[in-house]
Amino acid sequence: MEKRKQPSILPMTLKEAEKLGLDELDVILVSGDAYIDHPAFGAGILGRVLWDAGYSVGIIARPNWRKADDFKVLGAPKLFFGVTSGNVDSMVNNYTPNLKRRSSDVYSPGGELKRPDRAATVYANQVHSIFPKVPLILGGIEGSLRRFAHYDYWANSVRRSILADAPTDLLVFGMGERPILEVAGRLENGEKIGEISDIHGTVIKMEVKAWKSSSHEEYLVIPCFDEVSTDKRKYAEAFALHYAEQDPFTGRIVAQPHPKTVVIQNPPALPLSTEELDHIYDLPYTRKPHPCYKEHIPALEPVKFSITSHRGCFGSCAFCALTHHQGRIVQSRSIESLVREAKRLTEVPDFKGIIQDIGGPTANMFGMSCPNWKHGACRDRLCTADCPSLNRDHSRLVEVLRRIRALPGVRRVFIGSGVRHDLVLGDASGYLEELCASHVSGHLKIAPEHVSRSVTEHMRKPPVEVLDVFREEFYAISKKVGKEQYLLPYFISGHPGCTVKDMVHLAEYIRDHRMYTEQVQDFTPTPMTVSTAMYYTGLDPFTLEPVHVPKGQEKKIQRALLQYKDPKNRDLVYEGLVIAGREDLIGDCDKCLILAGRRKQPRQRKYEKR
């Protein structure tokens, strides 16, 4: 298809489309987020990619799902509607871990609450009811991570695949550029949406009647919805089966029968090459919201002047869904492309010389590689820092940082995304010295998550001994370069496998190493993570061994122990210390977590085996 000249911003009204010489759009993207023309936002990046390929694209952002006119504003597209809830699952966006509705939406102007619960399904139903003959494609985090039957924390039940609930023709999962371009091309060439069934990185659905009359030899058939919604062991088995098929090279086609449809996942899309990634990030993003917005959009602030250096993460943390979304294979941009983007930032009128971040899912995985990734990541083992096949050299990242901070107009380059501290130890490139000397804005973010060995093993995180070595090296190097700076650790409470005694142990570690912080996280079971499978089933999905799952009052106690200094938490901390048999930490001594005082004896609760 002939390429079109990129507009300054993609149209959100027919009047704006007409100014571009268009009376009909090829594709219309519907998103729960405000439209920001920035590569950190899904609609912004996919819109530019499609336009670059020759397709005209319009955006419907934050529609009022109760008003049909909001979905008619651009008319009907020639090829398809693309629907997404936005950058975040709408239930995560709308509710706190305690299931309380949030007071604002950071992806909306002025933080206005306008996004419905289960936004992707709600938008899809509205679009389909208004334009029933136009192909409808789901995508984004919400669609991607709800593609199989999944435990839903907010409903406290197993929900069907989103394809069984939403009137979609096809779902794009993972990073969508490659599959969405192939779908657009095949529709442009005259194929019907119902005939498109074999694109990697997509999920389709098949009628039950057709499924029963067809051969299933090419599919890995996992336990059906009726089984996983009533049998927790079957749920764990199904999760382990589809988890193992998320490699773009070795993954098989996975099918899961539902009562009225069969969900069929094709293998993930192939990773993008360095040249393809460079091209995507070289597109002319303004890094600004659409001019129709008059109020500040909070989500833009921390990323406006940040640079994405790579995609993918081989960490495979149990509580993270990246394995099911971006995958384990790291895809890095070229150094030249990153420098070009930094130069463009210096030309933005309100750029003050500060680059907020250069990173990806994990800041320091840029440039890392494994020869096995050419044929697929290992099926029988995780990628770890001590794997001899993994090249975890930081020298390319060091070169990027040096070249960008030397650019005219750049005063500081910070690393705002988290650093995987276990990858740094033993590195000979001088990365940690470079980091401490020039790229820490007072605090360096790391995510040890816990310090008890049994908990870190369930989380798939490095043991505390690795954190201890890194902490000593960080402070020694910071002192050497004459800087007073600190580690900002992220810890999680209430994770499967964690007991009250484990949380008391973590509280003592925080006390002893002066790592107390207000930035803590209570575990939230989100779709498609290993930890969520453990939370719902009480089983490790890979071994089927029982796992302790903190819930209810115990979960509140664990959360309180992370912030034992907060007076509001005193009663919960007291109860936790009594349960753990650690009354020695109640009193006036230096090691005590809370002061002694009059309090009713907490009733005994059966949280854990003593």
Q: Residue 608 above 50 pLDDT?
A: no
Q: Residue 3 above 50 pLDDT?
A: yes
Query: For 85-91, what is the mean pLDDT?
Result: 96
Query: Which candidate, 370, 287, 299, 376, places its Cα nearest to that of 332?
Result: 370
User: Comparing 305-441 with 447-610, is the CATH topology the same?
Assistant: yes
pLDDT band at 609 (very low <50, low <70, confident <90, very high): very low
- Predicted confidence at residue 607, as pLDDT, reads 46
Q: Residue 130 above 90 pLDDT?
A: yes
What is the signed CA dihedral for 307, 313, 319, 321, rounded to 10 degrees?
80
Q: Residue 610 above 90 pLDDT?
A: no
- Predicted confidence at residue 157, as pLDDT, reads 97
Given a contact cutoff of 8 angstroms between Cβ atoms, the answer to whether 326 and 142 are in contact is: no
- Predicted confidence at residue 16, as pLDDT, reads 97
- Predicted confidence at residue 12, as pLDDT, reads 98
* Measured distance CA(68)–CA(156) in Å, rounded: 31
Q: Specify the DSSP element, H or E, that contains 570.
A: helix 570-579
At 136-179, the pLDDT tens digits run: 999 999 999 999 999 999 999 999 999 999 999 999 999 999 99
SS3 182: helix
pLDDT band at 598 (very low <50, low <70, confident <90, very high): low
How far from 1 is each of 9, 55, 77, 189, 474, CA to CA, in Å?
Answer: 21, 8, 17, 10, 53
What are 535's two structure tokens? 């939370």
| Homologous superfamily, domain 14-204 | Cobalamin-binding domain (3.40.50.280)
How far from 166 is each of 127, 162, 355, 427, 527, CA to CA, in Å?
Answer: 11, 6, 40, 48, 17
Q: Which residue type does 207 have?
A: E
At 410-464, the pLDDT tens digits run: 999 999 888 999 999 989 899 999 999 999 988 999 999 999 999 999 999 999 9
Q: Residue 185 above 50 pLDDT?
A: yes
Instruction: Provide the CATH number for the domain formed by 305-441 in this structure.
Output: 3.30.750.210
At 342-375, the pLDDT tens digits run: 999 999 999 999 999 999 999 999 999 999 999 9
- Predicted confidence at residue 365, as pLDDT, reads 95
How far from 339 is each of 14, 336, 342, 400, 574, CA to CA, in Å?
Answer: 37, 5, 5, 7, 53
Query: For 506-522, what is the mean pLDDT?
Result: 89
Looking at every residue in the chain, the average pLDDT score rounds to: 94
Q: Between residues 2 and 496, which one has the greater pLDDT?
A: 496
Q: Residue 538 above 90 pLDDT?
A: yes
Given a contact cutoff of 8 angstroms between Cβ atoms, the answer to whether 605 and 554 are in contact is: yes
Q: Specify the DSSP element, H or E, that contains 506.
A: helix 500-512
- Predicted confidence at residue 104, as pLDDT, reads 96
How do 27-31 and 357-359 pair as beta strands?
Answer: unpaired
What residues does each domain of the chain span? Answer: 14-204, 305-441, 447-610
- Predicted confidence at residue 599, as pLDDT, reads 53
Q: Architecture of domain 447-610 in CATH? A: 2-Layer Sandwich (3.30)
User: Where does 517-569 have alpha helices with state H?
Assistant: 530-537, 552-562
Residue with tokens 């964690």: 498
